[in-house]
């Protein structure tokens, strides 16, 4: 199989061809050895129920304090801190610290010094990897930015309301704008409001690297204090990502650990330059680099939007090593994903079918997209450079765009692929082309499709129709586990046309 080697596919878009790919930051797998399993079993029968009862009791004990202190408070002004509110605040801090202690967080190492609100109205915390990241919030009782649904959580929602959060409704663009406006209003209050603690990654990762920061914390163009979080425990039971153990399993396993260490480090206040004040993205990236250096973690230009690709399930779900994550980052940077509709994909498929014999160089590719040639566009072009000759089959680009635009609609993308590749005479696709289609949709060439082709085409005709494939997938909803074999060999490129299969023997031509 010939791979594209002009553009190595690191998740951060950098690095040499010899560099291994970065781990998927949205996946967390837990594996236990025999000794760990025995310890968890013993702790589950002894320590876990006691800890769980204590944690639940202390959370319920905190609820009336938070409820009383929240009564009659305005969302838009800060009332004078009366003696009884100070007492409630102190009581809540003590109760929450005891609660974390009962949960196994016996001592929490704090490094550096927290700045005053007048010095840094915003604290940026990273990496965000667990709901235990609430520990520094309860220690300071600073405000947070959180999703609107959080306030509906029984008991915990009342505690969240007490710290006067900024709520955001992620699917509502107007809500996002109002959230930014509220952050700016509080940040410019000259210390009148409590500090706002923001997790700029916007979602939980597995701490393998820092994903792109959202700009909300940096739009006010005021000094921020970076805060890095570490969980130096040997067995990582705290990480709560999109793909991995659920919330209760994380709680159970964490409470079954004898001790759960945590480190909170306050870095020096970061004051933006004039250039950073006018460019929130630059400000965010520079702070991210500073925090990554303190954490000794790599940067990855993946973001919250890339979760959809990692979470895709069903027919042709995206594998964890898919280069579509890199492609998604690049097309987002070019503004191509957000502005692409299903109708536009159909139009592009029609154009791509006409152009498939005319392999496109960079200039023609730029004309096709109606964009200037930039480094980012060149990287997208290189992802599909199958022969190293500087030319690409535009159909693969359209396929990949369809996948990242609608990752949960694999069959719609497959139908689009047949529109571009199928013969006009009988609507069939050659086996070599189907090999290219499926590998492009999966975003990896390190996959063996031989068993799938044998199952779909038992007569060994070497030709496939959409109806045949659709019928087979409906009969075998988990066909990706039964008939597709992924290689463990680290990938060197992203997308390429394979050499195909011998339709008479179903053996690799290079074997």
Tell me if 25 is assigned to some domain.
Answer: no
Residues 279 and 174 in one domain: yes
Range of the domain at 167: 34-299
CA 376/CA 362 separation, integer angstroms: 11
Q: Which two tokens stand for residue 277?
A: 């004040």
Res 499 pLDDT > 60: no
Tell me if 189 is assigned to some domain.
Answer: yes
Q: Over the stretch 244-264, which tens digit does the pLDDT of each residue have?
A: 899 999 999 999 999 999 999
pLDDT at 16: 37
Total structural domains within the chain: 2
Q: Which helix (H) or strand (E) holds 42?
A: helix 34-45
Tell me if 2 is assigned to some domain.
Answer: no
Res 507 pLDDT > 50: no
Tell me if 328 is assigned to some domain.
Answer: yes
Q: Which two tokens stand for residue 472?
A: 């087979």
Last residue of a domain, one of 270, 299, 328: 299
pLDDT at 487: 67
Residues 464 and 485 in one domain: yes
Give percent of the chain with pLDDT exceeding 70.
Answer: 84
Q: Which two tokens stand for residue 63?
A: 């609820």
Which comes out higher in pLDDT, residue 78 or 267?
A: 267
Name the pLDDT band for 465 (thresholds 50, 70, 90): confident
Name the pLDDT band for 27 (thresholds 50, 70, 90): confident
Residues 260 and 371 in one domain: no
Residues 370 and 265 in one domain: no
Residues 317 and 466 in one domain: yes
Residues 358 and 211 in one domain: no
Last residue of a domain, one of 299, 321, 346: 299
pLDDT at 44: 95
CATH of the domain at 247: 3.40.1130
The residue-averaged pLDDT of 457-464 equals 83
Q: How far is CA 466 from the centre of its chain?
A: 32
Res 81 pLDDT > 80: no
Res 334 pLDDT > 70: yes
Tell me if 105 is assigned to some domain.
Answer: yes
pLDDT at 329: 79
Tell me if 13 is assigned to some domain.
Answer: no
Q: Averaging pLDDT over each range in 147-151, 215-219, 437-441, which range is the top one? A: 215-219
Closest by CA to 447, choosing from 316, 296, 257, is: 316
Res 21 pLDDT > 70: no
Residues 272 and 254 in one domain: yes
Measured CA distances, 42 to 48, 53, 254, 255, 328 (Å): 9, 17, 14, 12, 45
pLDDT at 153: 82
Q: Phi/psi at 385 (nearest 5 deg)?
A: -75, 95
**Residues 139, 132 contacting (CB under 8 angstroms):** no
CA 229/CA 260 separation, integer angstroms: 13
pLDDT at 52: 96
pLDDT at 58: 95
Residues 364 and 494 in one domain: yes
pLDDT at 111: 96
Give Cβ neighbours of residue 225 (< 8 Å, ≥ 6 apart): 114, 115, 119, 120, 122, 123, 124, 266, 267, 268, 269, 270
Q: Over the stretch 354-409, which tens digit does the pLDDT of each residue have?
A: 887 788 899 999 998 889 999 989 998 988 887 778 889 899 999 999 988 888 78
Residues 267 and 317 in one domain: no
Res 15 pLDDT > 50: no
Mean pLDDT rounded to a whole number for the chain: 82
Last residue of a domain, one of 268, 299, 330: 299
Res 295 pLDDT > 80: yes
């Amino acid at each position: 199989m010939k791979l594209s080697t002009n553009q190595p596919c690191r998740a951060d878009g950098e690095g040499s061809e010899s560099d291994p790919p970065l781990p998927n930051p949205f996946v967390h797998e837990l594996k236990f050895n025999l000794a760990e399993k025995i310890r968890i079993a013993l702790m589950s029968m002894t320590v876990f129920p006691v800890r769980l009862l204590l944690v639940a009791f202390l959370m319920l004990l905190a609820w009336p304090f938070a409820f009383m202190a929240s009564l009659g408070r305005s969302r838009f002004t800060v009332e004078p801190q009366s003696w009884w509110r100070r007492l409630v605040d102190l009581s809540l801090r003590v109760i929450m610290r005891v609660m974390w202690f009962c949960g196994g967080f016996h001592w929490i190492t704090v490094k550096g010094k927290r700045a005053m609100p007048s010095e840094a109205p915003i604290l940026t915390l990273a990496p965000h990897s667990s709901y235990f990241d609430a520990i520094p919030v309860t220690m300071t009782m600073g405000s947070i930015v959180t999703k609107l649904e959080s306030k509906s959580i029984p008991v915990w929602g009342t505690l969240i309301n007490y710290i006067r959060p900024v709520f955001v409704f992620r699917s509502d663009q107007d809500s996002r704008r109002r959230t930014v406006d509220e952050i700016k209003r509080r940040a410019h209050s000259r210390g009148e409001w409590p500090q706002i603690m923001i997790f700029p990654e916007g979602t939980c990762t597995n701490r393998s690297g820092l994903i792109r920061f959202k700009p909300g914390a940096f739009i006010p163009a005021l000094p921020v204090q970076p805060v890095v979080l570490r969980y130096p425990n040997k067995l990582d039971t705290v990480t709560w990502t999109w793909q991995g153990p659920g919330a209760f399993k994380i709680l159970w396993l964490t409470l079954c650990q004898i001790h759960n260490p945590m480190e909170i480090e306050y870095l020096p206040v970061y004051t933006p330059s004039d250039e950073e004040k006018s460019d929130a993205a630059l400000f965010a990236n520079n702070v991210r680099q500073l925090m990554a250096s303190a954490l000794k973690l790599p940067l990855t230009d993946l973001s919250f939007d890339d979760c959809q690709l990692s979470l895709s399930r069903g027919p042709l779900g995206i594998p964890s090593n898919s280069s579509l994550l890199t492609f998604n980052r690049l097309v987002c940077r070019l503004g191509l994903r957000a502005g692409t509709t299903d109708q536009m994909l159909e139009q592009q498929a029609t154009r791509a079918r006409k152009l498939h014999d005319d392999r496109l160089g960079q200039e023609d590719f730029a004309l096709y997209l109606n964009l200037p040639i930039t480094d980012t566009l060149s990287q997208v072009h290189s992802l599909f450079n199958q022969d190293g000759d500087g030319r690409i089959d535009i159909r693969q680009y359209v396929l990949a765009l369809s996948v990242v635009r609608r990752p949960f609609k694999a069959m719609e993308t497959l139908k689009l692929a047949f529109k571009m590749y199928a013969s006009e005479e009988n609507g069939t696709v050659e086996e070599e082309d189907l090999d290219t289609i499926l590998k492009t949709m999966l975003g990896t060439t390190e996959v063996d499709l031989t068993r799938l082709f044998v199952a779909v085409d038992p007569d060994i005709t070497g030709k496939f129709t959409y109806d045949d494939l659709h019928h087979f997938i409906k009969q075998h909803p988990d066909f990706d586990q039964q008939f597709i074999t992924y290689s463990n060999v680290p990938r060197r490129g992203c997308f390429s046309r394979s050499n195909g299969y011998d339709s008479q023997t179903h053996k690799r031509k290079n074997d």
